[in-house]
């Protein structure tokens, strides 16, 4: 009786385990690959599924939702030998689970490496400035380049985004030094232009001043000539008035010389009286 009970219990346990192995509930957003005796047998879709216990085995569980792949940062050399650092993120979806598991060892790693290799190839054909300013074009070419390979692996590349693309630290320092040198060069050119304009303006000012001085001298000479002409006309052949005018200017000049604060020694002609007589036209 005891052996019979043990046998029944063992049988019930075996039946329970067998039933558990035969019933599979696949959650929404997943598909499971079933192998029978090591060979692909079928794909379990979301919901309740029945398989043959001990013969069938769930070998792979695939997520059919969009998968986010982070492509690690890498250094890339541009066509003009500049080093830039870039990374990306890809959004893929499994459209053929059989190709995804049997077409490549690890589809996630395969796509990641494919993106890194293609990204290096695309940027390597571009100049530094072109690579830094054409992120959308790089993204479009990258997605187009890996699309065919992804299809062969049962994948669809929905989008590839360039997260960051920038010069490496050494390149940033070199660019900063170049920018500083360029600013200094422009500043020197500006200073030189300023000095040039200043010299031109000073030369023009000197020229204008010389022209004005010449004009003033001509005007003064013409005024002096006119004054002499008028005096000559007024005096005629008489020398008395002329002597009187000369004597008056002589006395005024001596008076100003005496009043000067800087005059310490005044030279007076010894024949002052004779000079005055000569100027005034008197004799004896």
In sequence order, what E strands does the chain have?
Answer: 23-26, 30-36, 39-44, 47-50, 56-63, 67-77, 83-94, 155-167
33 CB burial (10 A radius; 0-12, 13-18, 19+): buried
99 CB burial (10 A radius; 0-12, 13-18, 19+): middle
Secondary structure tally for the chain: helices H, strands E: 8, 8
Query: Distance between CA atoms of 189 and 136, rounded to whole angstroms?
Result: 38
What pLDDT is attached to residue 283? 46
What pLDDT is attached to residue 45? 92
Q: Is the pTM of this model over 0.95?
A: no
Produce one character per residue of 244-278: b if its CB has 16 or more CB atoms within 10 Å, e if not: eeebeeeeeeeeeeeeeeeeeeeeeeeeeeeeeee
Strand order of the β-sheet with 83-94 is: 67-77, 83-94, 155-167
What pLDDT is attached to residue 274? 58
Q: Which residues of the chain have pLDDT under 70?
A: 1-3, 170-176, 178-179, 224, 227-228, 231-232, 234-250, 253-254, 256-284
Q: Which two tokens stand for residue 236?
A: 């005629």
What pLDDT is attached to residue 93? 92
DSSP state of 125: T
């Amino acid at each position: 009786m005891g052996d019979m009970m043990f046998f029944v219990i063992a049988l019930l346990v075996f039946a329970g385990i067998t039933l558990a192995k035969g019933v599979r509930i696949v959650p929404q957003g997943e598909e499971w690959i079933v192998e029978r005796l090591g060979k692909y047998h079928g794909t379990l879709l979301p919901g309740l599924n029945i398989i043959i216990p001990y013969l069938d085995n769930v070998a792979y569980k695939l997520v059919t939702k969009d998968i986010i792949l982070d492509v690690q940062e890498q250094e890339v050399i541009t066509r003009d030998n500049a080093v830039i650092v870039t990374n990306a993120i890809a959004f893929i979806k499994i459209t053929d689970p059989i190709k995804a598991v049997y077409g490549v060892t690890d589809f996630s790693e395969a796509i990641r490496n494919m993106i890194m290799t293609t990204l290096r190839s695309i940027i390597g054909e571009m100049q530094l400035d072109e690579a830094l300013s054409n992120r959308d074009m790089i993204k479009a070419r990258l997605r187009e380049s890996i699309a065919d390979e992804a299809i062969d692996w049962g994948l669809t590349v929905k989008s590839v985004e360039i997260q960051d693309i920038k010069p490496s630290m050494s390149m940033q320092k070199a660019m900063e030094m170049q920018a500083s040198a360029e600013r200094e060069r422009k500043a020197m050119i500006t200073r030189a232009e300023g000095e040039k304009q200043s010299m031109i303006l000073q030369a023009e000012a000197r020229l204008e001043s010389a022209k004005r001085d010449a004009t003033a001298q001509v005007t003064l000479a013409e005024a002096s000539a006119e004054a002499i002409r008028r005096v000559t006309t007024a005096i005629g052949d008489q020398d008395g008035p002329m002597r009187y005018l000369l004597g008056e200017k002589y006395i005024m000049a001596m008076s100003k010389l005496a009043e000067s604060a800087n005059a310490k020694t005044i030279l007076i002609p010894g024949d002052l009286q004779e000079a005055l007589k000569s100027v005034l036209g008197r004799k004896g």
